Amino acid sequence: MRLAILIGIRYAVGQRANPFLTNWCKTLKVAQPPLQPCWGAGELARRRRAARNITLMGSMEVGDIDTSLQVAATSQGGTPIFTSEGGQDRWLWKHHFRFFDRPPIYADFGANDPIFTSNTFFLDRCIGAQGLCVEANPRFFARYDALRSCSLTRTCLSEVERDLVFAFQNKDFSTRSGILVDNKSYRKGRGANGHTDITLRCVTGASVFAAAGITHVDLLDLDAEGHELGILRGIDWGKVEIDIIQVEANNEGVVSFLSSLNYTRFGRIHYDDVYLRRGFQFQDPSASLIGDSTDACCRSRAKNCY
């Protein structure tokens, strides 16, 4: 209830009607949404180039949501598409959230940019979801205030409250920022010389859920560049029930930990593994990630697969 009131106040005060956003949502909120382009280096580079021309990553005083969406959430031909990197939000809408008779509740831990490659932007702005977003990178804070309705926690997460070194990638649209000691990109030598380190006081998922009064979550979206297991350990699983966990596939520790909590791996969407709590079923009883698998399609160099 506290979260719903907070979001309602922020949304009424800080948001306004946007013609492109209205049409974007209408185009996507159908049973068979437009297919996602395959997300490879070329597709990401296309959107980055276009975005830099309109200072998408800058202050929202020099841009608005319509402009941002036209760059970050359209195909090369200008057709509205979902904002996620690999169609994660499209799949979940098609097979689950479009059947809801209430706003979904989600948590996006390691949320990164509020639009570009976001798995939860559509939930916020098109179906009125109640959201908890956690992001440590200060370059995104003003954009969250302007573009999103989720309640934003502006620091890192870990298994306990403690000080940790967080590495910020010194590049627009980076998805490689994260806790330095666990950061998979830097361990592999990608971007190791292009980041700024800062010590942050990380909090726990348990404290974030408790502060919002949340005891049930429809979707936890988790991407922390290698620190996912620590974040999962910081949730009080006796006080919050989470139906779907979508987590970037980084290490086997996540698999065994979620298995110990009676979660079952349902399949993979793009680079994210999808886990379901015991007893949970998608609203679409025919939902399957085998039939919707698109990796082979994209490897065949088809333009739209997701």
Q: What pLDDT, in 10s, does the model give residues 257-267?
A: 999 999 999 98
Determine the structural domain holding residue 84 and report its residue range.
2-299
In a domain, 263, yes or no: yes
Residue that wins the pLDDT comparison between 94 and 305: 94
Is residue 38 in some structural domain? yes
Q: pTM for this structure?
A: 0.87
The pLDDT mean for the chain works out to 83
C-alpha distances in Å from residue 74, one per residue of 34, 54, 68, 86, 149: 10, 15, 10, 13, 21
* CA-wise closest residue to 266 among 250, 282, 283: 282
Is 42 inside any structural domain? yes
* Residue 304 belongs to a domain: no
Asked whether residue 89 is assigned to any structural domain, the reply reads yes
What pLDDT, on a 0 to 100 scale, did the predictor assign at position 5?
41
**Residue 198 carries which DSSP code?**
E
Amino acid at 28: L
Give percent of the chain above pLDDT 70: 77
Residue 155 within any structural domain of the chain: yes
Residue 168, sorted as left (phi over 0), alpha (psi -120 to 50) or beta, turns out to be beta
Q: Residue 306: inside a domain, yes or no?
A: no
Q: Total structural domains in the chain?
A: 1
Q: Is 50 exceeded by the pLDDT of residue 56?
A: no
Residue 222 forms part of a structural domain: yes
pLDDT in tens, 254-291: 999 999 999 999 988 888 999 999 999 999 998 888 64
pLDDT tens digits for range 164-207 = 998 877 665 566 777 776 776 666 555 555 778 889 999 999 99
126-176 pLDDT, tens per residue? 999 999 999 998 888 888 988 899 999 999 999 999 999 988 776 655 667
Given a cut of 60, whether residue 13 has pLDDT beyond it is: no
